Chains A and B, each alone.
Chain A
Amino acid sequence: MAKYLLLKHYRGAPAPVNDVPMDRWTPEEVTAHLAYMRDFATKLEGTGEFVDGQALAPEGTFVRYDGEGRPPVTDGPFAETKDLVAGWMVIDVDSYERAVELAGELSAAPGAGGRPIHEWLELRPFLTEPPTVTE
């Protein structure tokens, strides 16, 4: 009954416990990791808590308006970008506690050595419509 965004970062989150870049894993470890993510999404579809999920490419472009009749200015990607989102999943759950529980579970995806990565995931509630009964 409340939607949350789970954000996975390429960069910008605190360092995970099992901090080995993905390209240093064995192919089997990568496969196991991807399977875990897929199974997690499938499980949430089953519990009726899944809304959406997508992965993002690490390269992005900044765009801004540059005045009437001129094409938008593009720039980047910037080396100094502190925060780089890798992908998201939107869940619809009954409570904040449940959202935290699921984020914790997703953070346990296996990494190097088949051990959980313990990566930091960002959990953000959606702004909603105001409730009908307020006072």
Chain B
Amino acid sequence: MDDDLVRCLVPGVLAVLVRRGADFAAAEDAVQDALVEALRTWDRQVPRDPRGWLVTVAWRRYLDATRAETARRRREGLVDAEPEPGPVAPGDDSLRLHFLCAHPSLSPSAAVALTLRAVGGLTTRQIAQAYLVPEATVAQRISRAKRALAGVRLTEPGDVGTVLRVLYLVFNEGYSGDVDLAAEAIRLTRQLAAAVDHPEVAGLLALMLLHHARRAARTDGSGALVPLAEQDRSRWDTALITEGVAVLQGALARDRLGEFQAQAAVAALHADAPTAAETDWVQVVEWYDELLRLTGSPVVRLNRAVAVGEADGGQAGLAALTGVDPGLPRYAAVSAHLHERAGRTAAAAQLYAEAAHRATSAAERDHLVKQAARLNSRAPAPPRPGT
């Protein structure tokens, strides 16, 4: 049996059951049952219409299970409620599933796990490997999420913003087992973009494509982090950049700016520069101004200071940093970079060391320690304490 085929089919089958009025948890169980049945029988002969086959078997399982649980008298009602078989709109179905799996009542980790399983068609094991947690933990997250959704009917359009946040979380996850989470997030966002007409969906898709395009250049052969300015731009994926820019332009033309579009615009400006030195930093700062207006986020203010530093020099960057909360992650790293740019080497070295101490990822820490070491090895070493 073809795993990829089944993975593509499962979400659609699940969506049909949910649309027909099946409770989400019961529908998921029924689809799993149908898959087991498929595993048993498809080796001999794959049906002509695998999706139709799965829908029929899963719906039958669902009805059986429901009948067993509820009083016999409800049986006819359920059978009557079954819509006539006919063409289904896959777009609408997968969209409903996206919204259900990103329901605001779910915690972020539960929404992510459920989306990957129900919309992405990943197995519990694949999700567990990707997030480096035990399979039982993911299984529990999913079953709790399903319980939380029991009885939830999506009669109105869901919240696009919540769905986008879940996909963004998936994309940002660096871990990977045999599933590439960044690629998976892009696949799901494409699917969402095909089903819903919203400039921010396009904005997120563009953002993902533009960042994914740089992936090969983000780390060197040994896995160490390579900062944007030092990346080998010939290793950027130009096809993804072209697509990302086109998607972004389409979204911007709609004149409904949102934070993902603005972030994608910054990424597009980087992608557009043949060398780091030729980056249009003035425009980058303008997009950060837009982002700041949209979000008021302190992290945006911090990133804006970096862009100001590049556009107008380290001193201006440090001025832009005043009033930014020093408790923010990466504050010390940004401050170190701006101090170095302003020619204050000793202070920069000390700040790089502090930033390394506060880094949240091993690759980031290693990079920052190297920066501190680079500056310290230029100047005579300060006397060690106690000597």
- A116-135 CB mask vs B (1 if < 8 Å, else 0) is 00000000010111111111
B223 to chain A: closest residue by CB: A129
Whether A104 is near chain B, meaning CB under 8 Å from some CB there, is: no
Interface centre among A92, A134, A135 (most CB of B within 10 A): A135
Distance (Å) between the CB of B317 and the closest chain A CB?
14
In the bound complex, CA of A129 to CA of B365 (Å): 11
Known contacts A127-B365, A129-B175, A133-B263; is A1 also within 8 Å of B109 by CB? yes
In the complex where A132-B174, A132-B211 touch, is A127 in contact with B133 (Cβ < 8 A)? no
Q: Given the known inter-chain contacts A1-B169, A45-B136, A47-B140, please indicate yes or no for A129 contacting B363, CB distance below 8 A.
A: yes
Q: Are A50 and B134 in contact (CB under 8 A)?
A: yes
In the complex, whether B182 has a CB less than 8 A from a CB of chain A is: yes
Q: Does A94 contact B (CB under 8 A)?
A: yes
Distance between A71 CB and nearest chain B CB, rounded to angstroms: 31
In the bound complex, CA of A52 to CA of B137 (Å): 10
Q: Are A1 and B112 interface neighbours, CB within 8 A?
A: yes
Closest partner residue, chain B, to A44 (CB atom): B137
- Taking the closest CB of chain A, its distance from the CB of B240, in whole angstroms, is 13
Cross-chain contact A131 with B133 (CB below 8 angstroms): no
| Most A C-beta atoms less than 10 A away, residue of B107, B131, B212 | B107
**For B109, what are the chain A residues with a Cβ–Cβ distance below 8 Å?**
1, 48, 92-94
Residue ID in chain A nearest B330 by CB atoms:
A134
A38-68 near B? 1/0 per residue, CB < 8 Å: 0000000111111110000000000000000
Q: Which residues of chain B are near A49, meaning CB under 8 Å? A: 137
Contacts of A3 in B (CB 8 A): 132
Q: Please name all residues of chain A whose beta carbon is closer than 8 Å to the beta carbon of B133 when the two chains form the complex.
A: 51, 92
- Shortest distance between the CB of A16 and any CB in chain B (Å): 29
- Docked pose: A22 CA to B212 CA in angstroms: 54
**Residue B268 at the chain A interface, CB threshold 8 Å:** no
Number of A interface residues, CB 8 Å?
Answer: 23
Do B140 and A135 touch across chains, with their CB atoms under 8 A apart? Answer: no
- The answer to whether the Cβ of B138 comes within 8 Å of any Cβ in the partner chain is yes
Q: Is there a chain A Cβ closer than 8 Å to B228's Cβ? A: yes
With both chains docked as a complex, state the minimum distance between the C-beta of B140 and any C-beta of chain A, in angstroms. Answer: 4
Residues in A neighbouring B136, C-beta threshold 8 A? 45, 50
A134 contact set on B, CB distance < 8 A: 228
Tell me whether A133 and B171 are in contact (CB under 8 A). Answer: yes
* Min CB gap A127→B, angstroms: 4
Closest B residue to A48 using CB positions: B141
A129 to B182, CA, bound (A): 13
B211 lies within 8 A of A51 (CB): no
- How far does the alpha carbon of A1 sit from the alpha carbon of B306 in the complex, in Å? 28
A residues apposed to B, CB below 8 Å: 1, 3, 45-52, 92-94, 125, 127-135
Using A131-B173, A132-B171 as known contacts, list a sample of 6 further A-B pairs with CB atoms less than 8 Å apart, ordered by residue number in A.
A1-B169, A46-B144, A48-B109, A51-B137, A130-B361, A133-B263
Q: List 21 A-B contacts (CB under 8 A).
A: A1-B169, A45-B136, A46-B144, A48-B109, A48-B137, A48-B140, A49-B137, A50-B134, A51-B132, A51-B137, A94-B107, A125-B360, A127-B365, A128-B361, A129-B361, A130-B174, A132-B171, A133-B207, A134-B228, A135-B228, A135-B270
